[in-house]
Amino acid sequence: MLSTAKTPGDKVFAFVKRYLHGKSALTKDIYDVKRENFNKLQNHHVQFFKDLLGDRTITDLHELEKYNQEWMRCVRGYSALALKPKTTGEVSEILKYCNDSNLAVCPHGGNTGLVGGAVPVFDEIVLSAELMNDIIHLDANSGVLVCQAGCVLENLDAIVAEAGLMVPIDLASKGSCHIGGNVATNAGGLKLLRYGNLHGNVLGLEVVKADGTIIDCLSTLKKDNTGFHLKHLFIGSEGTLGFITKVALQCPTRPKSVNVAFLGLNNFDKVLKTFKEAKHDLGEILSAFEVMDTATIEFMKEKLDISSPIGKYPFYLVIETSGSREEHDAEKLNFFLQSCLEQNIVSDGIMATETHKVNAIWSIRERVPDGFRKCGHLFCYDISLPLENYYLLVEDMTKHMGNMAIRVFGLGHMGDSNLHIQIEVEEFSRDLKNYIEPYIFQRTKQLKGSISAEHGMGFLKAKYLDFARPSSNVQMMKDLKRILDPKGIMNPYKVFPW
Ligand SMILES: Cc1cc2nc3c(=O)[nH]c(=O)nc-3n(C[C@H](O)[C@H](O)[C@H](O)COP(=O)(O)OP(=O)(O)OC[C@H]3O[C@@H](n4cnc5c(N)ncnc54)[C@H](O)[C@@H]3O)c2cc1C
């Protein structure tokens, strides 16, 4: 006989409907996504987790809010349970139980991902790494750091700084994102130009598979060619292949001198020329090359009252150098700026060497996402394009949107050909979304780009995987998923089309 008793999921669902409807709709009500045939959470399941984790088993409806809603507030699930393990052993027991009970799981890091990957789509159990924040080992000589996956990036950086080191990635979300989340998304960020991506900087990983098996790839060696490099499978897998529990990271030496320039330029051709000059003149000390268009600065003024420190220009650059000798680095940057001004490539600019001034310039660029949540709705795209086509997409989308958008603006890690293009509108509508997508992805493909440069596919882009990758690639991804997670309990509806 079918039971009519309310499951924990039913209660959360009713809560969301009662208190939050209108504020932020449920993902399942916005998108045509169907719940897969996973079991619904029952009270005896919850009891198992309470016996295992005690009060680290979250069932309080208000407390669950932060696990059900993502950073941009574009997607929302209705999970009735969030679990906060502290050890790999606990993660293993949780996943084994979920796998045996056919319960879906959503890995959750700092919840700063921008494609809806870290929150449930329906009632998946949230598996949070937030209490897995121990430093396991730091070797100041080799620069190798081993830590648990839930360490917040900024905290890690402060810890390795004491040993004269730095973490090799830098994102504006560093105050909240986890190293495990960074690995799971293969995060890029502001310094990738200099320090390379996580496939290079992650030396090893410990991961728990869907069935609870602990995979030890936690090598701390730079060179280890004893077979397949399994860690790479999990870097950028967005929680769909396993739960990352530990990370071994190669940390570079912290630079003694950091200088930043903020420049104004009259057209994109000059932006490209400046990039070439910067690589030529600044060489090994160039550590970031960021571009913002004039609409980005207008957006910053309107949303956050932050202004450009120089006059109005169609494009602005933030260029950073990091090195070991202050006079040498400042001299190089000065020479570069002088040369750009003399050649009339750059129209105006300021340079900062003191830490507070450096930070003030960086905050103009880094605080852009703070304005995102002050919009009616913002469609955000994270695109990679060959440099010659880099800004064409912003121009194209501006035309495409006409007066349907409040503004279209572009900024990004230009040194890595990475463009963040945002479309601000009064409010979200399915019609608008359908008008923008797949058009923007088709144009990206025509311009020989990638539809996700750094944020991944998550939930919001998963539908376009077949479009983004050749079918042979997608088939191999599906085969690997089947081997590692045969029941598909790990982060369903993410990465793979739903
Ligand atoms: C202000 C701001 C600036 C940003 N700037 C950048 C940027 O410059 N470059 C960039 O690449 N991204 C950027 N992002 C996006 C985001 O910060 C990164 O994707 C980041 O790596 C996500 O880390 P997280 O811990 O918040 O992960 P979450 O958002 O919690 O999760 C992201 C994905 O990883 C999975 N996951 C999380 N933890 C684990 C784990 N332990 N094991 C397995 N899977 C896991 C989740 O299921 C989800 O699919 C920015 C975001 C914001 C809000």
Q: Compute, in degrees rounded to 10, the torsion defined by CA atoms 455, 234, 88, 51.
A: 70
The strand ranges marked E within 7-66 are 57-58
Contact status, residue 199 vs residue 186, Cβ threshold 8 Å: yes
Ligand 1 pocket: which of 74, 177, 218, 364 to mutate (most atoms within 8 A of CB): 177
Give the model's confidence band at 13: pLDDT under 50 very low, under 70 low, under 90 confident, else very high: low
Q: Do domains 135-250 and 257-368 have the same CATH topology?
A: no
CATH class of 135-250: alpha beta
pLDDT in tens, 83-142: 999 999 999 999 999 999 999 999 999 999 999 999 999 999 999 999 999 999 999 999
Give the tokens for residue 401: 């949107």
pLDDT number for residue 72:
83
Ligand 1 pocket: which of 88, 112, 208, 411 to mutate (most atoms within 8 A of CB): 112
Q: In 10 A of CB 496, how many CB atoms?
A: 18
pLDDT in tens, 297-347: 999 999 999 999 999 999 999 999 999 999 999 999 999 999 999 999 999
Average pLDDT of every residue of the chain: 94
Contact status, residue 113 vs residue 71, Cβ threshold 8 Å: yes
Query: What is the atom index within ligand 1 of the atom nearest the CA of 106?
Result: 47
Classified as helix, coil or strand, 171 is coil
Classified as helix, coil or strand, 342 is helix
pLDDT number for residue 65:
94
pLDDT in tens, 25-75: 899 998 999 999 999 999 999 999 999 999 999 999 999 999 999 888 889
CATH number of the domain located at residue range(s) 257-368 in this protein = 3.30.70.2190
pLDDT number for residue 419:
97
Domain assignments of the chain as residue spans, ordered by start? 135-250, 257-368
Q: CA–CA separation, 112 vs 182, rounded Å? A: 10
pLDDT number for residue 18:
57
265-270 mean pLDDT: 98
| Sign for the pseudo-dihedral over CA of 317, 318, 323, 327 | positive
Distances (CA, A) of 288 to 14, 63, 147, 291, 385: 48, 39, 26, 10, 18
- Say yes or no to pLDDT of 191 above 80: yes
CA of 413 to the centre of ligand 1 (A): 17
